[in-house]
Structure formats: structure tokens, C-alpha cells
A = this chain, B = another copy of it.
Amino acid sequence: MLKPPEPTADDAPATERLAWLCLARSRNVGSMTFRRLIARYGTAARALDALPGIVTRTGANAYQLCSARQGEEEMERAVAAGARMLRLGTPEYPPRLADIPDPPPFLWALGDIQLAHRPAVAVIGARNASSLGLRMARLIAGDLGAAGMVVASGFARGIDAAAHGAALSNGTIAAMAGGVEVIYPEENAALAAKILEGGLFLSEAPMGMRPLARHFPRRNRIVSGLSAGVVLIEAAARSGSLITARMALEQGREVMAVPGAPLDPRAEGCNTLIRQGAALIRSADDVIEALEAPRALNLREVTEPYDLNPPEPANTEASPDLAERALALIGPAAIEVDALARDLAVSSAALSTALLELELEGLIEQRPGGLIALSAGG
């Protein structure tokens, strides 16, 4: 099998890595805000220095800086666990994941990070899977592995665990909702030990964090974001697997589903997806065929890794009233930033700074796909 070259190690100084972590962990600094700050200030250290000034200027008080001490504590936990920091924009960062609208500013990685640089397919599904579903997951994940694909999944019980287990010998990536070293659910402890030997754990969550229900949807965007496509095996209506499918579509990933008898509720989500245009999957061959000939609607080439190194820190200060004018046009329904810029007759760069301030104030929030809306809590 052709192995990708070992990615160049991230040689940024420890101060910048710490600042990167602190900036990403600061309250109300999401993935898009993070990238805007880096684009504007060039380094995380400079952005961290600038944040208090932005707050003063805009009167924002919704954000709270992650302190250097908090950051150092997390760094120490990572060192103790053997976790490696993969920063967005560096060669180590999973290239496919960098291509999604809201890539994590960094990931903690435990295991073989080369796996994140090989072609991957996500195999996900129900926790309460049937034995037929589990067999299908093992069969497809094993055959995809034999065909040279890395199998990504969410480390849940049921389909996820079966897929990881069958893909161990060829490479598997578990995207975790909690801390990268927090084994949850505990019944997967034996599987976790095997993944640590030859696979890869990834997480954007703070080291040591126990996963909560609200963390799973965001984790799911990483499962799909790491992958060329997502195969669903047994997914009930309104299941987490369907959230992943929707995210995969937003990310331009191929969505594939294994059908089932309609009288089995576990088949409902998959059958509905197929009706909506997802490829019907019977085997790993069908997966490979779907990935080789994606439907036009979903076709999206994976581009160069996201460029986080702008030539110069931007000098686009927003006039104070631009943020207010923008806010007047933003409602609870998500709108496109580009459309807003046209409506306001300003450059995207100028609007970007105004939106950054509104976001730091907690007044607006970013949505996937370059959309913004009034903050749900605001």
C-alpha cells in the first residue's frame, strides 16, 4: 500500500502553541472566529494580546479569555497522556478535515497520526444495532480496510465499535466527543486498547473532559470531515447518525446508506436517506464505486489544506457603526455573510471584523456553510 510521506512536524515555539490552545479555549471563540483572529493578527499570541482591546472597543463582555494557567494545565495533561497537538494550517493537521466550513482550531491526537493522511471512509450507525447490522458493519469495514481505506467512526457502542474493530488491522480513526484519552463508553475499553496500539484517537475537546450529550453533534462533523464519505448502517429517524449524514452533505461528502426492511425501525433513517438520493450500499464494493463516481450534487474536490498564513496581518478596522448596521440586518434565520456584505455595500474584509466583534459580544453566531444568525441566547 502506498503510504503518504510522514507529515512535517509542527515546529512552532511552545509559546505560540500555548497561545493557540488558550485562544481556541476562550469563551465565544468558535472555529470561524478563531480563523478570523488568526487571519487578522497573524499569530495566536498576537490575537490573544489584541482580544482585550477588541472587548474594550466594542463593549463586549460575553467572552472570557482562557488563562495561561488553564492552558498550561491542559498542555501538561496532554504530555502525560502522550497526546500530540495537531494545529489547523500545519502539515500534520488532517487535510480533509481542514476543508470543512468549521474545522477545529486544533485536535489532540493519540496514536498513529499518519492514518489521518490516508483516504478514509466513515462507517457509523445505531448503538442498539441488530446482529445483522453488526455483521454488515464488520463486513464493510473489513473490506474497506482491505481495499486500503482507513475507517473512521465515533467510538459508540454498536455499529461504530463493530466498524472500528473490523478495521483495526488496516487502520481506524476514532473521533471522540470528550477528551481524547477519556474512554467512553467504558464497555469499549478493550477496543480502545487495540486502537491505541495501531489506530488513532482524535478530539477537539479539552483533555480529560467527560463527553456530554451536546458534544456529540459537533464531534460528528469531525467523523464526516475526516472522511471522503459516510456509510450509515441502521439509523433510526432523528438519530445522531442522521445528524452526521446532514453534516457530511454540508461538507460535500458522499452520503451512503445500507437499506433495511421498512418494518424494522432501525432501517428508517437509512431508507429515507436513500430515497433522498444517498447511494444504496450492499458491500464495500458499492462504497468504493460511490466514492469513485460521486453524484454531481455532492461532488467537491478536496482542495489544498486550509491556508492559515496570510501574507500580512490585515488592517481592516471596522467603523463602529458598521457592526450596528450589520446587526440590524441579521435575524434569527441564518443568512450568508457574502450577501450581507453586498447589502451593506462594504468589503467582506471590513464586514468580517465587524462580525468578529458582534460574535465576541455574543450577539451573533456563526453557522456552518458561511452563514450567520442572531445568537440563540442573545
Contact = CB atoms under 8 A, between A and B. Distances in A.
A14 interface: no
A259 B283 contact: no
Interface in A246-291: 258-264, 267-268, 271-272, 274-275, 279-283, 286
Interface residues of A, number: 24
Given A132-B264, A264-B132, A259 B271 contact: yes
Interface in A137-177: 139
In the complex, the count of this chain's copies comes to 2
A342 to B, nearest CB: 36
Contacts of A132: 261, 263-264
Contacts of A84: none
A222 interface: no
B259 A262 contact: yes
Contacts of A135: 263
Interface of A: 132-133, 135-136, 139, 258-264, 267-268, 271-272, 274-275, 279-283, 286
Given A259-B261, A271-B282, 17 more contacts: A132-B261, A132-B264, A133-B261, A135-B263, A258-B261, A258-B262, A259-B259, A259-B260, A259-B271, A261-B261, A261-B264, A262-B283, A268-B282, A274-B274, A274-B280, A275-B279, A275-B282
The 10 closest A-B pairs by CB, nearest first: A259-B259, A262-B282, A275-B280, A132-B261, A260-B261, A274-B280, A132-B263, A271-B282, A259-B271, A136-B263
